[in-house]
Structure formats: C-alpha cells, structure tokens
Amino acid sequence: MLLPQQFVDLLMRRLLARKRVESKSKSTTNPLKMDPIKLQIRTNTRSTALFYRNPRQTKPTQCFVAISIAISLALLVFICIFRFSSKDSIKYAIIIDGGSTGTRIHVLGYRVDGTKNPVFDFKEGLESLRVNPGLSAYLEDPEGAADSLRELLEFGRRKVPRKLWAETEIRLMATAGLRLLDVDVQERILEECRKVLRVSGFKFHDDWASVITGSDEGVYAWIVANYALGTLGGNPLHTTGIIELGGASAQVTFFSSEPMPSEFSHSVKFGNFTYSLYSHSFLHLGQNVAHELLRESLIEGDFSPTESLHKEMYIDPCTLKGYMPGSLKLSLDSMAEKNKYIPELQARGNFSACRSAALMLLQKGKEKCSYDHCYLGSVFMPKLRGKFLATENFFYTSKFFRLRQRAFLSDLMMAGQHFCGEDWSKLKKKHQSLDEEDLLRYCFSSAYIVALLHDSLEIALDDERISFANQVENMPLDWALGAFILQSTSN
C-alpha cells in the first residue's frame, strides 16, 4: 500500500509525462517523426478513430477512396463492353465466288449495333483465298469441283471461331464460267459441291449453292462500289456506274431514269432511296472468251481486217510478231478428211487491226437490234450517264501499262499501240516474271478495251468520268461483298 506522499509523487509524474506527450504530439508537423506505434493504433481503432481525426485530414482520404472506386467501376464497365461488343457480338458470313478462272472464298466479319443493323468493316474484317482453276474446268469431273472447295473450307474454319461455325452462313455463287455450260452439267457440279458444303460445319441450305444471273452479278458489283464510295443510301444522281470485264462475261450496271424493258430493270432499296438500275451481263464478251472467239473468227475469215497469206494461213493482228505457238490445227471428225486441218494464224501484232477486229466481234448481230439504239450487238442499253468505275480486267490491263487510275482512254490506246508493235522475244526478256499466256493477252486486251469503251459505249478518249479501279480506300470492289451487303441489310 502506497503512502500518501508516494501516491502524490506517482500522480505528479504521470501528469508530467502526459503533458510531455501531448506537447510533443501538438508540436510535431513532419509525419515521418510520428510515433509508429501510436499511428498504428490510431488507424486500426474503429471505435474512436473516426471521431478523433481532424476533418481536414479525413477529406482527402475519402476523396481518394471514392475516386479509386469510380475508376475501378469504369474499368470494369469498359472491360465488359469490350468483351461483349468486340467479341461476343462479332458475326461471320462466308461467300464462295465460283468465277470462270478461279474460285475464291470470302470470310466476312461484322458487328451488329443496338438497332440490329450490321456494321461492316471490309478493311479489317475480310479474309479471302483463291484456288485455280474455276468450277467450270471440272465439267467432266464434277467430284473434282467439290474437292477444289476443301482447301477453301479449311481456310474458312481457321478464320471463324469454332463456336460460331453452326450459325455462320455459307453460300456458293457461281458466275459466267458455269453459265456457259449446259444446265444439267451445271447441276451435277453444284450437287457435288453441296455434298461438301453440307458437312462443312457451317450453316448451309442446298439452294444456297447456285448459279447467279449476270444481271445480279452486276447489281452486286454496283452496290459494293457505291458503298465504298459512300454514295449508297444517298441521291441516285450522285451514284457511280460499274463496268466489269471478267473472263467470260462483261457487266454494265448504272442508275438510269429512262424507261427500260423489264428484263433490264432492277430495283434496289437501301436506306431511304430506291434505285432504278439498268444491269445486263454480256455473256461471251469477257476478255478471255472474247479472245478465243476472235481467234476462231479470224481463222474462219469472218472479219475483213484479216489478211490471207495463202489459203491455209491467216493474219492474227492481236498476237505479237515473233510468237510461235505451234500450229493451231484441229482435226475434223470425218475419217475421210482426217488429214485436213483448220488453217493457222500468223502472228502480226497490229493495234489498229486488232481494235477493228474486236469491234466487229462486239457489234456482231447489231442488225437485229429492235430498239432505237444498241451499243453492243442487239442488246438494249440506255445512254450512259454519270461517273463510272471500270473494274477487273480493265484495271489489270491499266496496271500492267502503269496508267493512272483516272487515265484517259487515249493513254491506254498509245500504250497498246506501242506494245502490239513490239517483238515477242524482247517482251519475254523484259517481263520474265509474267506468265507467257498472260503477257500475250495485253495486245488484245488494250485494243479490246478501246473498242468496247470508246467505239461501242461511246466514252470519249479524253473523258474524265471513268476510272480504272479494283478497290476504293483499300476496300476491294468484289461483287461478292455487294451480295453480302444486300442480303445482310434485307434480313
């Protein structure tokens, strides 16, 4: 038991100690000099700390916590939006273009916005692969046509996430190559292709493998061209026409306000506008088929520009001099005439003569025209109006001659005249990387294009309304993309 004096002394020492601690605490301004034990007790004491803290010290801490929570929530929302909009909402569609010289698969990725409208990005969301030859090359081997699709389908399965295969529609659209074949041959090839497509893993119906009309092909090409140019969904007068030069056919499609026969008229609704289009496919007037037809006609002496050297030799003005293809002979069926052959063609490159022969081919049958005016043969066509894009082989020929996109036809004519006058051996050395058959065609193609666009369609040699192009702003002008746009927006 403490004595009174001892109790007083103890009490005085405790009061003095408390004053020193309080005085030290009040005078301390540097947080690094604070007693670590007292700081730990203060931050962990829930019952009294909230009441003893200085409000000016508490407010920044509360703001910091609130800001941290807000940032975390924003990041969470962003991650959710990114995951569900950029991945889960991406859809795919596949279109296989069965062309005359090759078959190409297009794997198209797109998003669906809040109003369930498709949002296309053909710069980033398009993957393509082509195999040769075209489906029409398998007319005697329909199963081979189906086998040619297997590499394309494997490509498609690599590009589309497996979980989306079953909902990804796949369509096979064959064009002029198959249109040239008999209907029963077309159907045999398509049926073999359907067998492969049914087990592809993608969504497929039998009627999704078909031969489309040339007019439809032209309309699809017009759609993708004007979509790329930003004119689809706007004033029809501001749209751009399309002229395609394929391998087996040529298509001409453009907006026209003129009255026209129903077989040439096509109505397309997009946005708030309905477009009245003229569209027609000129079968046999594609570059490759026209070239072969021209050679046959030259042999048969149908065209006056041909110059006969003697009864079994004719001049070919569209083939470069010095070219030795071997005899272009074909045995006749009759056994009695088995030693007789169709005459040979002598290569004598001449741009003007080739152009004249090409024009005669383009105008063949014009005497049967039942309309006020026919530009190509006896087929109806209203007067061309507005701007035009010339695609496919128009573009490839202009690219070979290194012409500008908006080059005049006069530029192509000058380039063709120079090329056709060259010797074959010199050109082979100059263009060793090119396939000989492709190189050989450029004399004919340059003359044929001038005969088609200028001599037939009456586009002036210095007309600035026409451009040679195969893409707009890195977007390919492929009719298959136009088919996808139209089908997606009409669903």
- Give the pLDDT band of residue 491 (cuts 50, 70, 90): low
| Lowest-confidence region among 309-323, 365-379, 476-490 | 309-323
446 Cβ contact partners less than 8 Å away, ≥ 6 residues apart = 351, 397, 401, 412, 413, 415, 416, 419, 420
Do 90-212 and 225-287+357-490 come out as alike in CATH topology? yes
- pLDDT of the residue at 112: 83
pLDDT at 132 over 60: yes
Active-site residue identified among 22, 154, 217, 367: 217
Residues 255 and 157: their CA atoms lie apart, in Å, by 38
Range 377-389 average pLDDT: 95
Per the model's pLDDT, the better-predicted residue between 432 and 116 turns out to be 432
Known binding positions: 247-251
Which CATH number is correct for 225-287+357-490, 3.30.420.150, 3.40.50.300, 3.40.50.620, 3.40.605.10? 3.30.420.150
Query: With 0-12 CB in 10 A as exposed, 13-18 as middle and 19+ as buried, what is 422?
Result: middle
Per the model's pLDDT, the better-predicted residue between 264 and 28 turns out to be 264
Residues 132 and 438: their CA atoms lie apart, in Å, by 15
Per the model's pLDDT, the better-predicted residue between 60 and 486 turns out to be 486
- pLDDT of the residue at 81: 53
- Whether 468 and 398 have beta carbons less than 8 Å apart is answered as yes
Known binding positions for ATP: 247-251
- pLDDT of the residue at 60: 55
Identify whether 133 is preceded by a cis peptide bond (ω within 30 of 0).
yes
Per the model's pLDDT, the better-predicted residue between 326 and 477 turns out to be 477
440-480: pLDDT as tens digits: 999 999 999 999 999 999 999 999 999 999 999 888 899 99
464: annotated active-site residue: no
Q: What are phi and psi of 38, to 5 degrees?
A: -65, -35
The CATH-assigned architecture of domain 90-212 is 2-Layer Sandwich (3.30)
pLDDT at 40 over 90: no
Please provide the average confidence, as pLDDT, over all residues in the chain.
Answer: 82
- What single DSSP character describes residue 470? S
234 Cβ contact partners less than 8 Å away, ≥ 6 residues apart = 271, 273
DSSP state letters, 215-269: HHHHHHHHHHHHHHHT-TTS-GGG-EEEEEE-SSEEEEEEE--S---GGGEEEEE
pTM passes above 0.85? no
- 202, 279, 374, 384 from 456: Cα distances, Å: 45, 17, 9, 12
DSSP state letters, 309-337: EETTEEEETTS-BT--------B-S-GGG
Range list of β-strands (E), 20-141: 90-98, 103-112, 118-120, 126-131
- Whether 299 and 284 have beta carbons less than 8 Å apart is answered as no
Residues 164 and 379: their CA atoms lie apart, in Å, by 46
What are the residue ranges spanned by the domains of the chain?
A: 90-212, 225-287+357-490
| Lowest-confidence region among 121-130, 295-304, 375-384 | 295-304
Q: What are phi and psi of 182, to 5 degrees?
A: -60, 150
175-191: pLDDT as tens digits: 989 999 999 999 999 99
pLDDT at 337 over 50: no
228-263: pLDDT as tens digits: 999 999 999 999 999 999 999 999 999 999 999 999
Among 300, 227, 208, 325, which residue's Cα sits nearest to residue 268?
A: 227
Per the model's pLDDT, the better-predicted residue between 405 and 72 turns out to be 405
pLDDT at 328 over 70: no
pLDDT at 7 over 90: no
Give the strand order in the sheet containing 249-255.
Answer: 265-270, 273-283, 249-255, 240-245, 387-392, 466-468
